[in-house]
């Protein structure tokens, strides 16, 4: 089933996603760890999109504080991303339910029980998927919409590009689709709608915004890069992951870090995030089956924080999408959304008159 692509009028566009979430524009800010903080999330929602709060590195008490911070800034709808693989996932799910977050985005996992609990208070469940198989499973587990992440995306994008993945998922399920991976402007918005999506999620574009906590030097470095200046490898954290092409990233991509090598860095990054020793041990053993994966992710976090917080692009590793090469300036979240809408309107008007 194809989504109807109606001409944009007065920089607005109504789709199944805007109606589902009660937002003005079909533009979403991805839940990027350490970047999708309350200030950025609220700015995107205030501008008529939907900001998604990142919680993967946050213990439940910090997640609750962040949710309340978003609500202190805006009364508009927003979402929360919960990475199901992490040790804090169950606690963050509990907090999301207690705080009645309007949109709950689950990644690297799904749950009918969580979906039922969110639906009980009127919330919406969005699952992040990278294959048609995962899309069908998410639909069966009660998802209201899907974020479909293509190969171009920062972090854990799929093996297929958005150009092929989005229409493939569109053919596989009836749910509204948010296309992610390769989208940074109005051209991408129009293309996504033509492929069958109902909205786009932009991560890298909002990471390079005024409200983003990403270090200024990291933003400048990303803007100077081309679309080919990224690396995609499972050696960063055990799952295929896209990052900026830097010296540290090239070194890590050549060889997967061993469990023994990763432990000191994982402990250091946990401490840097303000976790106490009891929290660190609890995080390690709550999900023992995923212990190796958690340690690998923790080791990458140390390098990621170097780039995000300190702008150290020599030793740091920065998850970034290929669209870094399409971005030439840092703008406010509001300006990013308005520019994308204006570009989309111009493109559609040009297509209609051609």
User: pLDDT per residue over 16-29, tens digit each?
Assistant: 999 999 999 999 99
Most confident of 185-189, 230-234, 301-305: 185-189
pLDDT bracket for residue 108 (50, 70, 90): confident
Interval 75-101 mean pLDDT: 94
Which pair of tokens denotes residue 14? Answer: 């109504």
Q: Give the pLDDT of residue 256.
A: 63
Q: Which residues contact 85 (CB under 8 A, 6 or more apart)?
A: 108, 109, 287, 290, 293, 294, 297
DSSP letter assigned to residue 58: -
What average pLDDT is seen over the chain? 88
How large is the angle between the packed helices 112-120 and 89-99, nearest 10 degrees? 20
Secondary structure E strands in the chain: 27-29, 50-54, 79-83, 103-107, 124-129, 145-149, 177-180, 199-202, 230-233, 241-244
**For strand 124-129 and strand 103-107, is the pairing parallel, antiparallel, or unpaired?**
parallel
SS3 for 215-239 is CHHHHHHHHHCCCCCEEEECCCCCC
**Does the structure show a pLDDT above 90 at 37?**
yes
pLDDT at 12 over 80: no
- Looking up tokens 């209201």, which residue turns up? 144
Cα 123 from Cα 141, distance rounded (Å): 15
Rounded Cα–Cα distance for residues 305 and 273 (Å): 9
CATH assignment of 16-213+327-349, among 3.40.449.10, 1.10.1040.10, 3.40.50.300, 3.20.20.70: 3.20.20.70
Determine the pLDDT at residue 269: 47
Is pLDDT at 288 greater than 50 in this prediction?
no
Q: Is the pLDDT score of 207 beyond 60?
A: yes
CA distance 224 to 285: 42
The Cα–Cα gap between 317 and 243 comes to: 7
Q: Match 């909205």 to its residue by tokens.
A: 199
* Sign of the dihedral defined by the CA atoms of residues 331, 335, 340, 346, in that order: negative
Mean pLDDT of 314-330: 97
Residue pLDDT, tens place only, 40-81: 999 999 999 999 999 998 999 999 999 999 999 999 999 999
pLDDT bin (cut points 50, 70, 90) of residue 293 is low
What integer pLDDT is reported at residue 3 of this predicted model? 39
Q: What is the pLDDT of residue 57?
A: 86
3-state SS assignment for residue 303: helix
| Angle, in degrees to the nearest 10, between helices 259-272 and 277-286 | 130
Question: Residues 200-228: what's their mean pLDDT?
Answer: 99
Q: What pTM, to 2 d.p., does this model score? A: 0.87
What mean pLDDT do residues 284-289 have?
A: 51
pLDDT band at 262 (very low <50, low <70, confident <90, very high): very low
pLDDT band at 239 (very low <50, low <70, confident <90, very high): confident
Residue intervals of the chain classified under CATH 3.20.20.70 are 16-213+327-349
- Average pLDDT of span 174-198: 98
Q: 319 or 259: which carries more pLDDT confidence?
A: 319
CA distance 58 to 64: 9
């Amino acid at each position: 089933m194809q989504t109807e692509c109606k001409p944009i009028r007065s920089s607005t566009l109504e789709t199944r996603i805007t109606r589902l979430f009660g937002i003005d524009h079909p533009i979403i800010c991805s839940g990027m760890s350490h970047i999708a903080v309350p200030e950025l999330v609220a700015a995107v929602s205030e501008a008529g999109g939907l900001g998604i709060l990142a919680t993967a590195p946050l213990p439940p008490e910090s997640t609750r504080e962040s949710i309340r911070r978003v609500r202190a800034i805006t009364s508009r709808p927003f979402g929360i991303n919960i990475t199901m693989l992490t040790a804090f996932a169950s606690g963050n799910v509990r907090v999301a339910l207690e705080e009645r977050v309007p949109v709950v985005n689950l990644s690297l996992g799904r749950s009918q029980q969580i979906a039922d609990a969110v639906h009980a208070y009127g919330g919406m469940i969005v699952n992040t998927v990278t294959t048609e198989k995962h899309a069908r499973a998410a639909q069966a587990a009660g998802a209201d919409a899907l974020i479909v992440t293509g190969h171009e995306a920062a972090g854990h994008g799929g093996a297929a590009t958005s150009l092929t993945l989005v229409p493939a998922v569109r053919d596989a399920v009836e749910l509204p689709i948010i296309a992610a991976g390769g989208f940074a402007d109005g051209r991408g918005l129009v293309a996504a709608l033509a492929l069958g999506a109902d909205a786009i999620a932009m991560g890298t574009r909002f990471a390079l915004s005024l409200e983003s906590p990403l270090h200024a030097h990291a933003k400048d470095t990303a803007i100077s890069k081309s679309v080919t200046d990224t690396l995609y490898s499972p050696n960063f954290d055990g799952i295929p992951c896209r990052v900026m092409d830097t010296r540290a990233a090239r070194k890590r991509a050549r060889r997967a870090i061993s469990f023994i090598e990763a432990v000191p860095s994982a402990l250091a990054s946990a401490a840097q995030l303000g976790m106490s020793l009891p929290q660190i041990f609890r995080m390690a053993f709550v999900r023992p089956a995923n212990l190796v994966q958690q340690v690998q992710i923790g080791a990458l976090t140390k390098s990621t924080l170097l780039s995000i917080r300190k702008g150290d692009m020599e030793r740091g590793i920065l998850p970034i999408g290929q669209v870094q090469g399409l971005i030439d300036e840092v703008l406010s979240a509001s300006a990013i959304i308005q520019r994308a809408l204006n570009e989309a309107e111009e493109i559609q008007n040009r297509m209609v008159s051609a």
